[in-house]
Amino acid sequence: MEFKDINVNPNLPLLIVITPMGTIVTDTFNASYCVYDSDEATGYGVGSFLFLLSSQSLLMGVTKCMCFGKPLAPGGNRAWSIIYFASSWVTFLIAESCLIAGATKNAYHTKYRHVIYAQNWTCESLRKGVFIAGAVFVVFTMILNVYYYMYFAKATNQAARKTNKSSSTVGMASYA
Do 77 and 137 touch, CB atoms closer than 8 A? no
Q: Residue 162 — very low, low, confident or very high, per pLDDT cuts 50/70/90?
A: low
pLDDT score, position 11 = 46
What residues form DSSP beta bridges with 25?
16, 33
- Residue 3: pLDDT band with limits 50, 70, 90: very low
DSSP three-state, residue 16: strand
For 18, the enclosing helix (H) or strand (E) is strand 15-18
| Separation of alpha carbons 110 and 114, rounded Å | 11
Q: What would the pLDDT profile of 87-112 be if each residue is shown by its tens digit?
A: 999 999 999 999 988 877 766 554 55
Q: pLDDT category, 128, cuts 50, 70, 90?
A: low
Q: Summarize pLDDT for 63-89 with one digit per residue, the tens.
A: 998 888 888 889 999 999 999 999 999
Provide the pLDDT confidence category of residue 154 given band limits of 50, 70 and 90: very high
- The 8 Å CB, 24+ separation contacts for 37-45 are 38/106, 38/107, 39/106, 41/102, 41/103, 41/106, 41/131, 42/103, 42/106, 42/107, 44/131, 45/99, 45/100, 45/102, 45/103, 45/106, 45/131, 45/134
CB-based contact 53:45 (threshold 8 Å): no
Task: Please tell me the distance from the alpha carbon of residue 39 to that of residue 125, in angstroms, as a whole number.
Answer: 11
Handedness of CA 118, 122, 123, 126 (dihedral sign): negative
Give the rounded percent of residues in the chain with a pLDDT score beyond 70.
59
Higher confidence at residue 17 or residue 92?
Answer: 92
Rg (CA), the chain: 29
State the average pLDDT for the chain.
75
pLDDT at residue 9, rounded to an integer:
42
Strands 32-35 and 15-18: unpaired
* Per-residue model confidence (pLDDT) at position 67: 83
Q: What is the pLDDT of residue 31?
A: 72
**Percent of the chain clearing pLDDT 90 (strictly above):** 36
pLDDT, tens digit, for every residue of 38-72? 667 778 888 899 999 999 999 999 999 888 888 88
